[in-house]
Structure 1
Amino acid sequence: MAEPRLSIRLLSPGKVSNWVDMITVESASARALHSIVLISPSTKTGSCPSMPASTSASRPESSSALRPSTCSTIPCSRIPTLPFTLRMRLALHPQIVPAVPATSVAQSPTRMYISQLIRQNRLDEAEQKLWSVLTQQPDQSWALDLMGAIRMRQKRSQEAEALFHKAAALNPKDLEAYRSLGEIYQGLGDNQQAIASYAEVVKLTPADRGANVALATLYQQAGQYGQSVEAAERVPTAARPPELLPVLAADYFGLGDASKVPPLIQRVLRQSSLHRGATLEFATVLARNGYAEDAAHLLQIVRPAKPLAEYLYTLARVREAQGQSAVAQELLAQALKLEPKSYNILLDSARLAERAGHWDSAADLLRRADEVAPDRPEVMTKLVGALLKAHRPEDAVEAAKRLVAAKPDDPESQYIMALALAEDDRSEAAEPIARKLVELRPNDAASLLLLGMVQFNQGDVAGARQSLEHCLAVDPQMTDAHYYLAVLAQREGKVDLARGELESVVQANPNHAAAQSALGIVYLQMGETEKARTALEQATKLAPDVSQNHYQLGLAYTRLGLADRARAEMEQYQKLREIENNQLKYRIPATVTASPGPQGHP
C-alpha cells in the first residue's frame, strides 16, 4: 500500500519566487526516498511527468498558479543546498496552504478554491461553484459543509442547520458539521443542542481544543460544573486559552471549592495586559460570587486610558454587586452609547430597568437585544413579561407568537402564549392552551394557576375554584391562587374569608398590587376606612396606572373627610379611565398587576 503524499500548494507564487509554483514532498514506499518537486510556471502546462493530466483539467481556470508544467526532482540530501531566502519564504509565506491528500487530487483544487472564496467573502461565486458540485454529487458532504458555511455568513441559520445535519448523516465522522452545528446552537442560545453537537466532536477527537473550550463554557452556563471542569482539563494547561480561566473560576465556586480560585487570579494578572476580555470576565465571576472588592481591585489594575464599553459594562456589574444599582445603571448607559448594539449590555440594562420597575424602558431594551440576536427564547420570554407589566398586552401577544414559532413544542412557550392572551382579554383563545398544559403537566402549579385565571375571567366560578384549589394543593405558597380565591369569596359575599386570604397574601408579598387593592376594597366594605386607606395608598404606589386603585382610594378619602385628596384621586381616575377606554385596555384582571372593577360610587 502506497504511503500518503502531503502536498503544499502555493496559490499566488509571484511574490515568493518567479520560478517556484508548487512544492510536493513525497514519500516513496519502495525506496523511502524523499524529494522536492519544483515546477516552473513559465513553461507550458501538461509537461510534468510526475502529475496526472487530469489534475490541470480539474483546476479552476482563474487559478493559473495551480497549473503544472515541467518539473525536476531534488533528493532530500540536497534540500539544505536550496537558497536560504527561498527556504524561509516557503516556510513563512502566508499564501502557502496545505492541500488535501492526493487520494482526492481531482476534487482538492475545487474544494480549496471554494473555501478560499468563502474566506474572501465572495459568497455568490462560492455558492455558484458549490451548486455545480452538488448538482452532480448531491451527497458530497464537504460541499454541504461549505454551503452551510455560506448560509451561516448570510445569517440564514435554519438553512445552515439543515445542511450540516445532512452532512453529518452522510458522514458520521464529519467534524466540521458537528462543530458548525455547535456554533449555530450556541449563537441561538440553545445550550443543550450546542453541548450535544460539540460532544460529537470530542467523541471523534477527544483532545479537540476548540470543542472542549466550548463545552466547558456551555456546561458552566448550565450549572454542570463538574462536567465543565472535565472538559477544561482535556485541554493541556499550556494550551488553555485565557477565556477558560473565568470559566474554571465559576466552576470552582459552583462546586464549593473556592480555594482553587486564587492561583487562577495570579494567571489572569500575568496575562491581563494581553487578554483584557478574560480579565474582565474573571472580575465578573468574582463579583457574582461575593468577592466584589477583589473584583473592583482587579478592574483597577486593567483600567483603560479611555472608556471602553466592555470595561464600563463589567464595572457596572461590580458596582451592582456592591449594592450601587443607580451607579450601575449610569455605567451601562455610558457603555450603550459606545456600543449601542451590544447584546450583553442591552440585556443587563433591561434587567436593571426591570428591577427598578421601569417596564417600558425594559421592553425597549429587550426589543433592541432581539434585533441584535433575533428570536432567542430567553429574550422573547423576558420581552413578553416586560410588555405585560407595562400594560401592553397586544404587543405581548405578538412577541409570544414569535416565541412559539421559535419553540413550537416547548410547554413553557405555550404557557407564555396563553398568559399573554389572557392578559389581552382573549380568554377563549387562552383556555384550550391552558387545558392542554394541565393535561401535559397535571401537577404543575403554574399551569393550574393559569387555567384558574382563565376560568375566572370567563366567569366559570366552579371551574376556577377547582383549578385554584388544586394549584394550592400542589404548592400552598402560590400567592396568586390565594388572591383569586379571595376575590371569588368577596364576590360571593364571604367577606371574612376574603379578608383572611388577602391579609395572608400581602403579608407574604407586600408588593402584590392587586391584593393590596382588593384588601382595601374589603376593608371599605367592612367599615375599616383607615385600614382601607393604607392598603389602597400602597396599591396606588405599586400600580399608579391602574385607574381603579385611584377610584377606590378616592372613596376612602371621601369617607375620611379628605375632600381635596378625594377630588384629586377621582380626577386621576377619570384621566386613566379615558386612556384605558381609548386603548381598549379596561378588562377584568388576569394578573397581579390589575385589580377588580368598581365596587360602588362615592
Structure 2
Amino acid sequence: MPWPWRCAPYSVVGWICEEPFAATGSQAQFKRGDLAAAESSVWSVLSSNPNDEQALTLLGMIRGEQQRYAEAEVLFGRVVQLNPKSVVARTHLANALAAQNKEDDAISQYQQAIDLTPNNTDLKLDLADLYVRKGEFAQALSTLETIPPDRFPVSGIPLKAASLLALGRKSDGIQLLPQVKNSSAAIMDLAEVFLHNDLADEALRTLDLVNVKRPARFYYVKGRALQAKGQMPAALSSLRQASALDPRSADTLVAIAQIYASQDKHADSFATLQHARTLNPESVPVLRRFVVEAMQAGQHSVALTAATELVHKSPENLDDLYLAAAVMLQEKELTAAVPLLEKYAAQRPADAKGWLGLGMAYVEQRRNDDARRALDRSAQLDPTLTETQYQLGVLAGQEGKPQEGIQHFEQVIHMQPHHAMALAGLGALYLQTRELEKALNALQRAEAIDPNNAQMQYDLGLVLSSLGKSEEARVHMERFQKLKQKQPRGASNRPVEASPTEPPKIK
C-alpha cells in the first residue's frame, strides 16, 4: 500500500493528512517519490542525532511506502516513546500495525490518537473502518455515531451502511443511498457495500447517481452487480469497458475470468488469469483463482506449481492450504499434501471435508488405520458427504473387505445415483463376490455415465465373459486396451483403489 507524502492511509475511507513538521530537503525528496535520496538525507540526520523525532517519522513513512511494515512499526513505536502525544506517530503506527493484520494493536493506537484529538473525524473513520474489517460492526457504528451529524463526511456513508447492513438494519442502510449523490467515490464505495451484502439492485441504483465521466471502477462495480444478477453478457460487456479504461486492473480481469468459468470456458478463464498474474504477480487472491482455473483447464502441472507458490505466499490461510493440498492430492504429490491436510484438520477439527481430504491422502498412502480414523471422523461430522462414504468403500476394497465396501458404495448411490466411480467400484466388488448379475447392472450404469473409465471397461469384459457373452466381452476388452494406452502413467487401474476424479470441493 503506497503512503503519499504527509498522509497515512486507511483501507477504505481515504487519507489522514497532517503535516508533522516543516518542509525540508528530505521531505521534498519523499514527496517526489525519490525514496533513496530521502532515506540518504534522513540517515545523515540520524547519524548525528538518532532520536530526531522528525527524521524517525519520515524514515518510518519511507518504510511504509516500501511496504516494509515491520520496520515502520518499530520506527513509529520509537517516536511514540520519545513523544507519547504525537498524533502523527500513533496514526502511522496504527497503519503499520493494520497492514500486518495486527488489528487489536492498531485499534489501541487509533483510540489513543483519538483521545489526544477528540474532534478528529478522519481518525474516527479510520477506527470504524478497522472495526468493519474485523467484523465488529456494533463498535464501528458506535464510533461513527460519535461524529456530529453536521460534520459527518460523505466518505463515511459507505462505512455506516456496511455496519447497519451487517447488524440486520437493512432498511436503515438502504436509506443512506441519497446521501452520497454528490460524491462519485462515495457512490462507488456504497455500491460495493450493497454488492457485498447481496443487494445487487441497490448497487445498480446507487451507480445510477454518477452524473460525471464514468471511470473504470464504475464499469467494474456495475459488471459485478450485473454478474450477481445473472446477467452475464451485460456483465461481461461492462467489465470489458472497465478493462479498456484501466488495462492494468487485475481485479477486473479476475471478475472477467469468473464469468468465463461460470460459462465453463475454463481455457479463457485460465488465459485471463495468466494476464492478471503478469499485472499483479504478488496478489494472493489472483493466485488463488489461478490455481482453481488451471486445474479446470487441464493445466495440471501449472496448477501444481501455482499451488506450491500459494503455500509459500499464504502459509497461515487455512483455506489456501486446503486448496493447495487438494491440487497436490489429485496430482499424487502426497508428501507435500499430507502435512497441509494434517495442519488443516488439526486447526479446524469440526470440518468434515478437512478430515475427508486427509483420509483420501492416507488411503493413497495405504495408511489404512489412519485413513479409517480420518474418514470415520468425517462421516460422524457430516453423514451426508457422499465422497466420505465413497472413500470408505475404497478403503474397504483395499483392505479386502468387499461386503463392507459394497455397503458404502450402495449408500453413495442411494444419495447420488449418478456417481460413476461408486457404480464402477460397486460392480468391481460384486465381481469379487461373484454376484455377476449385480456386477453387470452396476457396471453398465457406470458406463452410461462415464464410458472412459478403463478399469470399468475391463471389469465389464470380465463379467460378460463369465456370463458366457464372449463377443460383448471382447468389445469391452478392446475399449479397455485403447483407454489404458491414454491413461496417465502411474494412475490406478482398479476403481476400488482410485481416488475420486475430483478432490474435495474447495470452501
- Quickly name the TM-score band, shorter chain normalised: 0.7 to 0.9
Structure 1 segments unaligned to the other structure (5+ residues): 1-97, 101-107, 541-547, 596-602
TM-aligned CA distance change 1:570 to 1:477, over 3 Å: same
Partner SS state of residue 154, structure 2:
coil
Report the residue type matching 2:422 in the other structure: A
The structure whose Rg is larger is: 1
1:310 aligned to 2:222? no
Partner SS for 1:235: coil
CA distance in 2, matches of 1:177, 1:333: 42
Relative to structure 1, the CA distance from residue 309 to residue 442 in structure 2 (aligned partners, 3 Å threshold; closer, same or farther) is: closer
- TM-score using structure 1 length: 0.64
CA-to-partner distance for each residue in 1:333-382, whole Å, 9 max, x for gaps?
Answer: 33223322224323333433444444454455455555555545444444
| Alpha-carbon distance, 1:427 to partner | 1.4
2:204 corresponds to 1:296: yes
Residue in 2 aligned with 1:459? 366
* 2:411 equivalent among 477, 495, 501: 501
Q: Kindly indicate whether the alpha-carbon contact (under 8 Å) linking 2:455 and 2:480 is maintained by their aligned counterparts in 1.
A: yes
After superposition, the Cα gap between the structure-2 partners of 1:289 and 1:150, relative to the gap in structure 1 and judged at 3 Å, is closer
Q: Aligned ranges for residues 101-500 of structure 1 at < 5 Å?
A: 112-153=24-65, 156-157=66-67, 159-169=68-78, 171-172=80-81, 173=84, 175-180=87-92, 183=95, 192-194=101-103, 196-206=105-115, 207=118, 208-269=120-181, 271=182, 275-287=183-195, 289=197, 291-302=199-210, 308-366=215-273, 368-373=275-280, 375-408=282-315, 412=319, 414-435=321-342, 437-438=344-345, 444-491=351-398, 492=400, 493-494=402-403, 496-500=406-410
Q: In structure 2, what is the Cα distance between the partners aligned to 1:325 and 1:506?
A: 30
Other-structure match for 2:426: 522
Q: Which has the higher contact order (CA 8 A, sep 6+)?
A: 2
* Per-residue Cα deviation, 1:487-527 (whole angstroms, up to 9, x for no partner): 223454335313323224526xx7xxxx4333245358665
Checking the alignment, whether the CA contact within 8 Å between 1:198 and 1:211 is kept in structure 2 is no
Distance in 2, Cα, partners of 1:313 & 1:585: 43
- For residue 500 of structure 1, what is the amino acid of its counterpart? E
Q: Are the counterparts in 2 of residues 483 and 505 from structure 1 also a CA contact under 8 Å? A: no
Deviation per CA, 1:511-562: give whole Å up to 9, x if none: xxxx43332453586657677566555558xxxxxxx548758998998999
What amino acid is aligned across from residue 112 of structure 2 in structure 1? K
CA distance in structure 2 between the aligned counterparts of 1:562 and 1:308, rounded to whole angstroms? 66
Distance, in Å, in 1 between the alignment partners of 2:127 and 2:79 is 24
Using the TM superposition, give the Cα deviation of residue 406 of structure 1 relative to its aligned residue in structure 2, in angstroms: 3.7
Shift of 1:589: 5.6
Instruction: Tell me the SS of whatever aligns to 1:449.
Output: helix
User: Given that residues 523 and 531 in structure 1 are in contact (C-alpha distance below 8 angstroms), is that contact kept between their aligned partners in structure 2?
Assistant: yes
Whole-Å Cα distance in 1 between the matches of residues 151 and 232 of structure 2?
38
Secondary structure, in 3 states, of the residue corresponding to 1:593? coil
Q: 1:379 to 1:276 in 2, by over 3 A?
A: same
Separation in 1, partners of 2:239, 2:492:
36
Q: Per the alignment, do residues 439 and 258 of structure 1 end up closer, same or farther by CA in structure 2, a change over 3 Å counting?
A: closer
Instruction: Render the CA deviation track for 1:162-192: whole Å, top value 9, x for unaligned.
Output: 1333431452545445544555676x6x6x4
Q: 1:457 to 1:121 in 2, by over 3 A?
A: same
Relative to structure 1, the CA distance from residue 418 to residue 145 in structure 2 (aligned partners, 3 Å threshold; closer, same or farther) is farther
Q: Alpha-carbon deviations, 1:277-326, whole Å to 9, x = none?
A: 32233334445545544443443443666x64222222222222323234
Two-structure CA RMSD over aligned residues (Å): 4.3
1:126 and 1:553 mapped to 2: Cα distance?
Answer: 72
Write the distance in 1 (CA, Å) between the matches of 2:485 and 2:244.
36
Contact 2:200 2:225 in 1 (8 A): yes
Gaps of 5+ in 2: 1-17, 432-436
Query: Contact 1:303/1:311 (CA < 8 Å) preserved in 2?
Result: no
Cα 1:311/1:448, change in 2 over 3 Å? same
Deviation at 1:457, TM superposition (A): 1.0
Post-superposition offset of 1:241: 3.5
CA change 1:554–1:464 in 2 (3 A) is closer
Aligned to 1:171, the other structure's residue is in SS state helix
Whole-Å separation in 2 of the counterparts to 1:529 and 1:329: 48
Deviation per CA, 1:208-242: give whole Å up to 9, x if none. 43343234334334433212212322333344343
Q: Does the aligned pair in 2 maintain the 1:423–1:589 contact within 8 Å?
A: no
CA, structure 1 residues 112+323, in 2 after alignment: closer, same or farther (shift >3 Å)?
Answer: same
In structure 2, distance between residues paired with 1:324 and 1:477: 33
Separation in 2, partners of 1:194, 1:366: 31
Contact map agreement 2:64 2:72 (CA 8 A) in 1: no
Contact 1:195 1:218 in 2 (8 A): no
Post-superposition CA distance 1:69-98 (Å, at most 9, x none):
xxxxxxxxxxxxxxxxxxxxxxxxxxxxx9
Aligned length: 461
C-alpha distance in 2 between matches for 1:406 and 1:259: 40
Counterparts in 2 of 1:586 and 1:383: CA distance versus 1, 3 Å? farther
Cα distance in 1, alignment partners of residues 162 and 270 from structure 2: 30
Deviation at 1:119, TM superposition (A): 0.9
Q: Residues 99 and 421 (structure 1 numbering): CA distance in 2 closer, same or farther, change over 3 Å?
A: closer
- Residue 485 of structure 1: CA displacement? 1.0
Q: Is the Cα contact below 8 Å between 1:183 and 1:194 reproduced in 2? A: no
